[in-house]
Structure 1
């Protein structure tokens, strides 16, 4: 467990977990119990937390428990959001035959056994999985005992969700054609601070918060929680040209990186920070964002209507480029390959774009058309309906 005192009405509160499920109290006689599984990365955890918040808005008496592993970011994020966390052994899936593959059956059995014990203590009525190692354990533990709902955030489904989808009552996805049969596209559950964001109304406060010029065209640059060296190099190299053109920059370079820029006298500030604690204010401060295209990032940018230049991380099956494609096709964003994002590309393409208010307005309208601000509520309703069944 996380070791923190759970909020009222959640797993671990007084009187909870007295009987196993099935065989415990009928759902009609108690609050619904929802278990979310989505550990490892923020891309799995944040949708799970957004769902948890939406469940509690629809059913304030609902009990919500998160599953995670000892090494995942959920150890920081989940307790900070006020939800109890149960840790179970991870089951990484080897990609090729090896000695590790031969040891998998015993590891799977142990993880499933411990996860099943958590579900029984929690009297779980539904398990909602978002992919990743902990979800695989949750799906196998819930099989035949607790109904399963699967949500796939990426344009190409991962292994855990491919397994979970075969066992699930409902399968949801961020976009169509993820590779999961019968999936209903609803978007990605997002934090209410993002879905309710009024960028124009918050603009002055956001600019003041970061020390940015109140009127100058401003670019937001970030590469995820750890930063992106490609973006750091490209924008620090173009900093002088941006400053002379009257463009401000808010650049999150990552906690393990540094960015040195030459200040241009009289120019709007180029503000560098290791990490953005207030993404809502960062989005409100910007006229254009240049960033990676992880599923959560694309969903947030689309929901707030921020024009974007996506620079997909070149790895895996190219899923980041796939994530960005619907917004690019709609006209709300441009796509630049990682190897092509250089200081000169910033000067030649990004600078003219951020200096064109009419084009930015058109892109903003197109981006908003691809967003799903209600995904958290929709998924919460589905989870509660499945639990009630």
Structure 2
């Protein structure tokens, strides 16, 4: 089969690799019909090389048709149309039963001190081959391959794999009071959905992003948007009675704009020998915090900051004095996809499309063009907000 493989920093290529096979009775093989490039994939493209091997298959937002099932699979049949959740969970352990599928005790990558295994996401999360490929092996398939309808196009269901539940969780974790105010930092795919989720739930939603095309997309859905300027925090405080918003979602993460010194440190880590780089990331690794720190500054006293953007540093400086003084709540973590699926499928299937799922994709291309689109997406060129690949 063809698959998108990691070759080095800012280097990926489509290669012919062996087809996946059933390895456990609980596995299924899915022929991929649509798979997306996630903002988290760009962290692999840029920063996480020390935890990747040449040839690793990337991708964790996938859906398709079941082609083969293991002998212990009970809920799936060949020909079923499914969305594959990006975290791999069992559905039965202590964590899964509490809605913490991202911490599944069956698939936790204990030797790396990490939570549940993820598709296509480094040795830290199990080095499981990903879904930017023609075929995907899905472990524990009864729980991780979610059957969906057959009438709507892929793009109505595909984002149930990751970014739609990630946005939903981000807003839920933000604990916005009824009729309250929510500011979203970043209008990439997760940020777009977070604003729409917040509006759907009845909040007064505002968003910050430096890219005009991203602001324009959010404005189509009734969101008040702001450029990333020196005065934007003051403007937002003025709109929120001088206090700041009740809640903030940081949908940016470790590769925020600015923070030149930290960006230099991240780049330097990326060129170290892998063993040394891994040790550095595990002990003195730092993130660009030019979204997180303003979020903590902006939110009102007693408010909540919810992190949907990925962070990976172990030595990040945090304004603990101010956080403590303001009485802030900070919530974060990988999305627990299955926890939210039942809430989201009716919204995805609603003919009115209340979350605007049909208005996100800007580029749909064959899998062979994936390397080109990684670069375009990273550089935010050609109005690129969301890329879907068709194997």
Place the TM-score, normalised by the shorter chain, in its bin.
under 0.3
TM-score by length of 1: 0.27
TM-score by length of 2: 0.27
Q: Which has the higher helix share?
A: 1
Structure with more contact order per residue of length (Cα contacts < 8 Å, sep ≥ 6): 2
Greater Rg by CA: 1
